[in-house]
Amino acid sequence: MESSRFYFFVFAIAILASPALSDLLLSKVDRRIYLTSHIVRISSTLKVENAGPEMVSEVLLAFPEQQAKNMAYLMATPHEGKGKVKNPVVALPVEVANPKDMPPALTFFSVSLPKGLAEGGSFTFDVLAVFTHALRPIPEQITQADIQLVLYQDSAYYLSPYAVKAQSLTVKLPDSRIESYTKLENTKIHGSEIKYGPYENLPAFSYSPIAVHFESNQPFAVAQELVREIEISHWGNVQITEHYKLIHGGAQSKGEFSRLDFQARPNVRGASAFRYLVANLPPRAHSVYYRDEIGNISTSHLRGDSKKTELLIEPRYPMFGGWRTAFTIGYGLPLQDFLYESEGKRFLNITYSSPMVELVIDTLIVKVVLPEGSSDISVAAPFHVEQWQETKISHLDIDGRPVIVLKKTNVVPEHNQYFQVYYRFNKLSMLREPLMLISGFFFFFVACIVYMRADISISKSSASYLAKHQWEEVQAVIQQVQNIISRCLAIHDKLEASLRDLYRTGDIQACKAARKAADSVLKELSRELKPLLTTLQSSPSAAQILPKVEELVAKERELQEKVMVKHSTVVDGYEKKSGARDIENRVALQQQKLTALRQEVDDLLEFIDEI
Amino acid sequence: MATMPILPNMPALDLIKSFKLKTKQQELLIRVSILCLVYILAFITRLFSVLRYESMIHEFDPYFNYRTTLYLTQNGFYDFWNWFDYESWYPLGRIVGGTLYPGLMVTAALIYRILHFLRFAVHIREVCVLTAPFFASNTTLVAYFFGKEIWDTGAGLVAAILIAICPGYISRSVAGSYDNEGVAIFALLFTFYLFVKAVNTGSLAWSLASAFGYFYMVSAWGGYVFIINLIPLYVLVLLITGRYSMRLYVAYNCMYVLGMLLAMQIRFVGFQHVQSGEHMAAMGVFFLLQVFYFLDWVKHMLSDTKLFQAFLRITVTCAVAVGAIALGLGMLSGYISPWTGRFYSLLDPTYAKDHIPIIASVSEHQPTAWSSFMFDFHILLFLFPAGLYFCFKRLSDATIFIVMYGLTSMYFAGVMVRLILVATPAVCLVSAIAVSATVKNLTVLLRSKNKGVQTGSTKGSSSSKASSKALLDQSQPFQKNGAIALLFGAFYLLSKYATHCTWVTSEAYSSPSIVLAARGAHGSRVIFDDYREAYFWLRQNTPPDAKVMSWWDYGYQITAMGNRTVIVDNNTWNNTHIATVGRAMSSYEDEAIEIMRSLDVDYVLVVFGGVTGYSSDDINKFLWMVRIGGGVFPVIKEPDYLVNGEYRVDKGAAPKMLNCLMYKLCYYRFGEMLTEYGKPPGYDRARGVEIGNKDIKLEHLEEAFTTSNWIVRIYKVKPPNNRW
């Protein structure tokens, strides 16, 4: 019934249409309709001729409203004959046109020709139109075992405001299983191709509806929404995160889903389902992840070479008609592949759309997150996009990063073109975040130091506080005492060393000099020790430790005396030129006592240290 | 004396000497660095699952906690507090704010806020996953201070190390195990530490701190009941042993009164502190303490002992009588509620089995096997009695506390598997005392010996035990070697403990249980991610208001991951509702459909391990459904599902078993499936039998989804047939 209405509507156009717009005519039209995936591509080669006297620089293309609504992409390029070296083609500018006296049910686009066509001149160009949602599943609901049949409707004749001299149409199908198709004169079927035409000398607005009903088990992957976030870090990474909301846009599945059948014969019981998607990521993509709201999805495979990185992802479950899924993929790209500098500005040059193969995107939102402190931002996109700015607060940001949001509806793989974001960014701003971290830690440590050193007691007169204070003083004094004692011990060592020198060299004078120096220093030290001991004696909190300290001092003094005695004995012995053995014998007993004393002093020192 | 070698580089030595720290500073440095290392170790040893799988929430309950935390961070505290959850317990719903312990969620949300304030834009999931390890690290610090308080710094350090890797604690605090216990053990130990500190110092500040610690514990976990019973018991023991002091009086009164008032602020706890039987012990001890204090005062005032004895008799009789009458009246009037079933089952392990099948059905409520003690404590099990010995040898208020904590919690750990967790800190502390005391004694022995050898005979300069030393001197070589051998033995045991803990953590406690992993034929790791596959399917491909019926185990996960309404979930507060589901599962299909229609069920979810050999599936849980269903609806009788008291699913199974809903849903079309080479179709790998009913037809339900390994099967309830 839908199609009959369509018939009627086309018929109405044909009646209402004014005869011809200008004196242009299409001398040859070749149309090829590719129905091999769920994205319908119509590629037409048009040869226009100017039959009138005026110069013409624009050609109108007409599409019925039905088709125009689904049109995602339209591009016209000058036709190049076969065999020529393919130069980079420059697309002809295409605009929406609203010519007068035209039926309202048609949408027009005007193609500007590179140079005006004079009388009799001709020009050949290609038009590629891409449509989404143009295949309608019939029946609309199928079971797991059914195959998916879809219907495509168009006209056998090229719908044009100009008369067409000669034309032909080829419809390419995914395979040769065709349920039904409209048979007109000159219809040929050849494998998976249906050919209509050639038809000759048809007036403007000729229309002859055709419908092809065929089997298509291609993945009808439709992303209802895709949010793509491109985050630039000047530390060398472009991080891309893509959030997909996916649906199988084909015939709805009904009835049971049997895993048993699906596992046993997936191609028969589940032919219309798709199990995986392929994404062609840029080369050198790294840290790829694939997850959804509830965690990582472990079914994905990554293959990479120098040209591209291929990511094959399987949704958590096979996608039957009408089933939905949502997931996120993310990957990092090296910055130098995408960020360039020109005229003091930096610009990001990256593809706009999703890397997924044959994916229709109903709404695509691209967010470009620039580093904090970027300014003077502008965007250059190859097609019209809605755009606005946001800010995003990420790690260690103070006032957020500027985000450029670009929104476009009805996106097909043909939109995967490069776009540019220009901005200014000072390299020094890169250091902001590390400096923040460093200063954060610095202040933390400073706070710790202040806390450890500062006296934050509230009541300075409380007993416990005073006791603690006194104890600290005592400790400081004991520290000093220990210092002095250890210096004394060091001097003893020096004396011993001088004795050893004496054994070796026999230089009595040097030994005596050392003795003299030691004497004076020791005297000095004992003078220093005296006030310390009196403070300790006067302090009540030192009462516990005082005996030990006093013992230490006494022992040290004893040790000192013994060392002196030994020293004098040895020096005397040398002066009297006694034999070494003799001296040693005399010293031996002293030496034993010395060692014992030294041990005791060390023990005491250790003991005091442990308090 | 012989010529000593002269050191050639004296200046360099001096330089080193000037940098050399004093012994005390060295000790501090070593202590702080050990603590830092232990802190880090406690955190990273819990990250196995994050590294091996991903940063994800584990198990069942944590999913509810995660969902509520998400709600809290998104909607703010007041919305969270007043949240009425329509997605669970359909059609009853659940008042979430009033039926949970909010401590965990508030903590995680607070950490999240702080991190965001410091501009770390982390996801709340990461915070939730890492909350438990973070608190485990903090617990090690508390253990250190606690050990220091009850013994010395050495014991504190050992306790910190032991608790950092003790499997009994790790089992509930690995990354991703976002459960109340994760923060509660920290709160528990912290409260105990503060209380012991308060008792030791008699300081009002410490007991105030312990009241707040208790408040945090109450807000975090139902296990606070343990604190509110253990502390009064401890006070009672101190009173009986004649260790009553002013310090104790201050500590307990402040802690009890303030703690009680603070705890009443938690809605789930409410007035239980004055109304429930479980909390009455604390109140009784509180009054007893007042009486004691009063008597003490009277004794002080009266110099005549005889008069005092008489007075004592009268007062005690009166006090006991008044207390008993008050308690009796309270019980009779219903003002004081009797003990709950869970509490009873702690005191009498067989209680739950006979009276409350729903408690008995949970595996973690089972009595503990010896092997799991060994598994969770390893050498601590042997060190524990040794530590008790040391504690008794040096009895003080603090050691009495740790002894009581250790003994009571060990008893509870024996009653219920999950309470091993509560016993772990006590076991670690007591064992740490044993280790520290032993090692200290041995090293003292060794060091004094070394000196003795060097200096010859030093006549007891600082040693107090001259006699013992003389004894040691006699058997010198043997003693020294023995000490060395013992030290090596201790070192060997402790290193064994460390390896055991790491192994257990890695092998047993670090699997998220929602993702199953197995070894493939070629040694590669195979992941069964069926749960998430099913939940995500539910989330994406069912109407947003669909109601899903499943056994209660999966309720939290379905609401959190599937975002769909469930009939029953892991918050098993309504036994009748669960029994209704159990009844539906164990009825014939046409009876079950009536129940399901009355509950508005749209989908039924069952877990089935027959294909993969996953044994904790619904068929193995089925008898509990029968029992719980039969407990409320006598129509369901357990013997109908058994043959000669045996539970089987093969040809010899009971006819009711072969045709009940659960059997049909699990085995629907399974009879056509070849699971294992050389076995007939329909061979159930989980139970190792060929199933008894291979020709299953469903009348009112249809298969909606089955995951790739058949672990989760979802059925759709068909709409009623048109009458015409």
Give the pLDDT band of residue B722 (cuts 50, 70, 90). confident
Give the bridge partners for B49, in sequence order.
none
Q: Which residue reads 């410490």 in tokens?
A: B206
pLDDT at B116 > cutoff 90: yes
Rounded to 5°, the CA angle B666-B671-B675 comes to 90
Pick from B237, B192, B161: which is nearest to B431 by CA? B161
Q: Which residue reads 């007591």 in tokens?
A: B430
Q: How far apart are CA A37 and CA B447, in angstroms?
A: 85
Facing residue for A393 by CB, picked from B121, B561, B702: B121
Give the pLDDT band of residue A611 (cuts 50, 70, 90). low
Q: Give this prediction's pTM.
A: 0.86
Q: Which residue of A has its CA nearest to B5?
A: A500
| Amino acid at position A111, single letter | V
Contacts B516 to A, Cβ<8 Å: none
Facing residue for B462 by CB, picked from A294, A503, A607: A607
pLDDT at B647 > cutoff 70: yes
Facing residue for B537 by CB, picked from A296, A298, A317: A317
Q: Which residue of B has its CA nearest to A551?
A: B461
Which helix (DSSP H) or strand (DSSP E) does residue A215 occupy?
strand A209-215
Mean pLDDT value across chain B: 88
Chain B interface includes A587 (CB < 8 A): yes
Residues 103-132 of A with CB under 8 A from B: none
What length does chain B have? 724
pLDDT at A5 > cutoff 80: no
Q: Are B381 and B391 in contact, with CB atoms under 8 Å apart?
A: no
Contacts B458 to A, Cβ<8 Å: 596, 599-600
Report the pLDDT averaged over residues B557-562: 94
Chain B interface includes A316 (CB < 8 A): yes
pLDDT value of residue B548 = 95
Render pLDDT for A320-358 as a digit per residue (tens, 0 to 9).
Answer: 989 999 999 999 999 999 999 988 899 999 999 999 998
Pick from B431, B433, B438, B432: which is nearest to B487 by CA? B438
DSSP3 helix / strand / coil % (chain B, rounded to 5):
65, 5, 30
Per residue, what are the HEC states of B297-358?
HHHHHCCCHHHHHHHHHHHHHHHHHHHHHHHHHHHHHCCCECCCHHHHHHHCCCHHHHHCHH
Rounded to 5°, the CA angle B259-B260-B266 comes to 95
Facing residue for B561 by CB, picked from A294, A325, A398: A294
Cβ pair B702:A255 closer than 8 A = yes
Q: Are B690 and B512 in contact, with CB atoms under 8 Å apart?
A: no
Most confident segment among A117-121, B652-656, B720-724: B652-656
Q: Which residue of B has its CA nearest to A552?
A: B461
Q: Which residue of A has its CA nearest to B117?
A: A396
Chain B interface includes A584 (CB < 8 A): yes
pLDDT at A22 > cutoff 70: no
Tell me how close the Cα of A324 comes to any Cα of chain B, in angstroms: 6
Q: How far apart are CA B581 and CA B578, in angstroms?
A: 5
- The DSSP secondary structure of B142-178, one letter per residue, reads HHHHHHHHHS-HHHHHHHHHHHHH-HHHHTTTSTT--
Cβ pair B120:A298 closer than 8 A = no
- The DSSP secondary structure of B64-80, one letter per residue, reads HHHHHHHHHHHH-HHHH
pLDDT value of residue B19 = 65
Name the phi and psi angles at A358, rounded to 5: 50, 55
Render pLDDT for B390-402 as a digit per residue (tens, 0 to 9).
Answer: 999 999 999 999 9
Q: Are B214 and B224 in contact, with CB atoms under 8 Å apart?
A: yes
Q: How far apart are CA B686 and CA B611, in angstroms?
A: 7
pLDDT value of residue B470 = 44
Cβ pair A609:B24 closer than 8 A = yes
Percent of residues, chain A, with pLDDT higher than 90: 33
pLDDT value of residue A87 = 59
Q: Strands across the sheet with B701-706, in order?
A: B565-566, B547-549, B603-607, B712-717, B701-706
Chain B interface includes A448 (CB < 8 A): no
With the CA atoms of B693, B698, B703 and B704 taken in that order, what torsion angle do they form, in degrees rounded to the nearest 10?
Answer: -160
Token digits of residue B307: 């008069």
Least confident among A299-303, A496-500, B225-229, B466-470: B466-470
pLDDT value of residue B36 = 96
Report the pLDDT averaged over residues A87-108: 80
Among B54, B128, B453, B461, the residue to mutate for chain A (most A Cβ within 10 A): B461
Q: Which residue reads 């004692």 in tokens?
A: A485
Kindly provide the ipTM of the predicted complex, given to two decimals: 0.85
Furthest-apart CA atoms within chain B: distance in Å: 122
Give the bridge partners for A126, in sequence order.
A45, A77
Q: How far apart are CA A307 and CA A297, in angstroms?
A: 26
Chain-centroid distance of CA B287 in Å reads 32
Q: How far apart are CA A167 and CA A182, in angstroms?
A: 18
pLDDT at B3 > cutoff 60: no
Which helix (DSSP H) or strand (DSSP E) does residue A63 occupy?
strand A56-64
More confident residue, B448 or B497: B497
Mean pLDDT value across chain A: 86
pLDDT value of residue A40 = 93
Which helix (DSSP H) or strand (DSSP E) does residue B432 occupy?
helix B420-455
Tell me how close the Cα of A490 comes to any Cα of chain B, in angstroms: 11
Token digits of residue B466: 């001259």
Chain B interface includes A323 (CB < 8 A): yes
Give the pLDDT band of residue B459 (cuts 50, 70, 90). very low
pLDDT value of residue A537 = 82
pLDDT value of residue B13 = 57
Tell me how close the Cα of B541 comes to any Cα of chain A, in angstroms: 6
pLDDT value of residue B487 = 92
More confident residue, A453 or B80: B80
pLDDT value of residue B456 = 39
Q: Which residues contact A517 (CB under 8 A, 6 or more apart)?
A: none
Residues 23-52 of A with CB under 8 A from B: none
Render pLDDT for A275-310 as a digit per residue (tens, 0 to 9).
Answer: 899 999 998 999 999 999 888 898 889 988 888 899
Q: Which residue of B has its CA nearest to A327?
A: B536
DSSP structural state of residue B601: -
Q: Which of helix, strand or coil describes residue B377?
A: helix
- The DSSP secondary structure of A507-545, one letter per residue, reads -HHHHHHHHHHHHHHHHHHHHHHHHHHHHHHH-GGGTTT
pLDDT value of residue B481 = 85
Instruction: Give the burial string for B79-99 (b: 16+ CB within 10 Å, else e).
Output: ebeebebebbbbeeebebbee
Instruction: Give the burial string for B521-535 (b: 16+ CB within 10 Å, else e).
Output: eeeeeeebbbbbbbb
Least confident among A31-40, A591-600, B242-251: A591-600
Q: How far apart are CA B509 and CA A82, in angstroms?
A: 68
Cβ pair B707:A259 closer than 8 A = yes
Token digits of residue B52: 């091996």
Q: How far apart are CA B672 and CA B676, in angstroms?
A: 12
Contacts A327 to B, Cβ<8 Å: none
User: A198: cis peptide before it, omega within 30°?
Assistant: yes
Q: How far apart are CA A363 and CA A141, in angstroms?
A: 25
Q: How far apart are CA A514 and CA A563, in angstroms?
A: 13
Q: How far apart are CA A401 and CA A417, in angstroms?
A: 25
Give the pLDDT band of residue B358 (cuts 50, 70, 90). confident
Render pLDDT for A425-460 as a digit per residue (tens, 0 to 9).
Answer: 988 888 888 999 999 999 999 999 998 888 777 777
Render pLDDT for B240-259 as a digit per residue (tens, 0 to 9).
Answer: 998 999 999 999 999 999 99
Render pLDDT for B566-585 as a digit per residue (tens, 0 to 9).
Answer: 999 998 888 999 999 999 99
More confident residue, B132 or B512: B132
Contacts B119 to A, Cβ<8 Å: 393, 395-398
pLDDT value of residue B97 = 87
Render pLDDT for B370-380 as a digit per residue (tens, 0 to 9).
Answer: 999 999 999 99
Report the pLDDT averaged over residues A576-590: 77
Contacts A397 to B, Cβ<8 Å: 119, 121
pLDDT value of residue B706 = 94
Facing residue for A324 by CB, picked from B454, B540, B704: B540
More confident residue, B538 or A598: B538
Chain B interface includes A600 (CB < 8 A): yes
Straight-line distance from the first to the last Cα atom of chain A, in angstroms, rounded to the nearest whole number: 101
Q: Which residues contact B540 (CB under 8 A, 6 or more apart)?
A: A323, A324, A325, A326
Q: What distances in angstroms separate CA B345 from CA A392, A530, B168, B350, B351, one per listed residue?
A: 54, 73, 21, 7, 5
Q: How far apart are CA A178 and CA B494, in angstroms?
A: 76
Give the pLDDT band of residue B472 (cuts 50, 70, 90). very low
Name the phi and psi angles at B368, rounded to 5: -80, 140
Name the phi and psi angles at B504, rounded to 5: -60, -45
Contacts A462 to B, Cβ<8 Å: none
Facing residue for A503 by CB, picked from B3, B533, B703: B3
Q: How far apart are CA A435 and CA A456, in angstroms?
A: 31
Chain B interface includes A599 (CB < 8 A): yes
CB pairs under 8 A between A and B: 102
User: For chain B, give me the number of helices (H) and strands (E)?
Assistant: 32, 11
Most confident segment among A79-83, B297-301, B654-658: B654-658
Furthest-apart CA atoms within chain A: distance in Å: 147
Tell me how close the Cα of A137 comes to any Cα of chain B, in angstroms: 20
Least confident among A157-166, B264-273, B453-462: B453-462
Q: What distances in angstroms separate CA A210 from CA A166, A194, A206, B144, one per listed residue?
A: 18, 11, 13, 84
Q: Which residue of A has its CA nearest to B448?
A: A603
Report the pLDDT averaged over residues A43-69: 87
pLDDT value of residue A545 = 79
Q: How far apart are CA B207 and CA B226, in angstroms?
A: 18
Facing residue for B703 by CB, picked from A256, A292, A396: A256
pLDDT at B543 > cutoff 80: yes
pLDDT value of residue B315 = 87
pLDDT value of residue B444 = 84
| Amino acid at position A489, single letter | L
Contacts B554 to A, Cβ<8 Å: none
Q: How far apart are CA A321 and CA A138, in angstroms?
A: 12
Contacts A395 to B, Cβ<8 Å: 119-121
Contacts B118 to A, Cβ<8 Å: 440
Q: Which residues contact A98 (CB under 8 A, 6 or more apart)?
A: A108
Cβ pair B54:A295 closer than 8 A = yes
Cβ pair B703:A296 closer than 8 A = no
Give the bridge partners for A401, in sequence order.
A392
Q: How far apart are CA A406 and CA B235, in angstroms?
A: 69
Report the pLDDT averaged over residues B329-357: 79
Which helix (DSSP H) or strand (DSSP E) does residue A575 occupy?
helix A546-575
Contacts B440 to A, Cβ<8 Å: none
Render pLDDT for B91-113 as a digit per residue (tens, 0 to 9).
Answer: 899 999 889 999 999 999 999 99
Report the pLDDT averaged over residues A151-161: 90
Pick from A7, A28, A13, A361: which is nearest to A153 by CA? A7
Give the pLDDT band of residue A560 (cuts 50, 70, 90). confident
Q: How far apart are CA B80 and CA B70, in angstroms?
A: 10
Q: Which of helix, strand or coil describes residue A280?
A: strand
Chain B interface includes A317 (CB < 8 A): yes
